[in-house]
Amino acid sequence: MSPELQKLIHLLRTQLGYSEQAGGYTKFGSWYGKTVEFDSDYSAQPWCDMFLSWGAHSLGYDKWFGQFAYTVDHAKWFIEKGAWGHAPKPGAVVFFDWGGSEVVDNIDHVGLVTSVDGDTIHTIEGNVDGQYVREKVRDQSYVVGYGYPDKIRQSTDALILAKKAAAESALPVGAATMGVPVGAGGLAGQQDLGALVIPVLIAALVVLAYLKVQHAGVRLAAATRRHPGRHGTAE
């Protein structure tokens, strides 16, 4: 499990014992309706998935964890991302169907796996045991499948690095490595910089030599006009 998901579990655990207020109101539903979707009042809606979404959003994990209120849509999102499976893993999002159908469209609850002990999973869940945040120990009888946020995160990070490398390769020679500290990249930057500077220095020296020659020629011409006999002409 990645450090990012460990942070998420730690944050969710700070909410242990939280329960619905009068009328089914939760701060997680209220947050969702003000932050993610604005088409309805979510403050008194079933909130197991909004609880997880709140935690991920609080840590900036939205893009690779997903932000959902409807568990079926969340599961389908993981499937579309190629991050769905049936092996329990710490940090995985676990989807349940209390009817035991194992059908994605019948999913009606979700939690986050904190650890795995054989066929037993330990989870943290919202909206359980009379509308509380609780840690649970469950077998996999009602599990439909698992979504793997870490897999999406790794793919996202790899894509960002690839785009960065592509952007740098499109820069002029030396531009991508100039300013990098001395090391493998820094040395390459210095070599590229040297490749640019040396021809400039050579050109400057040639120009300087040419100017000196021109200056010497001017002085010689002036001296000849003043003293023509020095060069074999009659005085």
> pLDDT digits over 58-93, tens only?
999 999 999 999 999 999 999 999 999 999 999 999
Bridge partners of residue 94, in order along the sequence: 111, 146
As a whole number of angstroms, the distance between CA 146 and CA 57 comes to 20
As a whole number of angstroms, the distance between CA 141 and CA 137 comes to 12
State in words which class domain 3-155 has.
Answer: alpha beta
**Residue 176 pLDDT greater than 60, yes or no:** no
DSSP codes joined into one string, 94-140: EEE-TT----GGG--EEEEEEEEETTEEEEEEEEETTTEEEEEEE-S
As a whole number of angstroms, the distance between CA 34 and CA 203 comes to 65
Place of tokens 């932050």: 35
Q: Which residue has the higher pLDDT, 216 or 74?
A: 74
What 3-state DSSP class applies to 164? helix
As a whole number of angstroms, the distance between CA 207 and CA 125 comes to 77
* pLDDT value of residue 130: 87
Are the CB atoms for 138 and 121 separated by under 8 Å? yes
Q: Around Cβ 188, how many Cβ atoms within 10 Å?
A: 15
Kindly state the percentage of the chain with pLDDT values over 70: 72
As a whole number of angstroms, the distance between CA 31 and CA 13 comes to 18
* pLDDT value of residue 172: 61
pLDDT band at 174 (very low <50, low <70, confident <90, very high): low
The domains of the chain are located at 3-155, 184-228
Kindly state the percentage of the chain with pLDDT values over 90: 64
pLDDT in tens, 34-52: 999 998 999 999 999 999 9
**Residue 114 pLDDT greater than 80, yes or no:** yes
As a whole number of angstroms, the distance between CA 156 and CA 163 comes to 11
Task: Name residues whose C-beta falls within 8 Å of residue 175's C-beta, 6 or more positions apart in sequence.
Answer: none
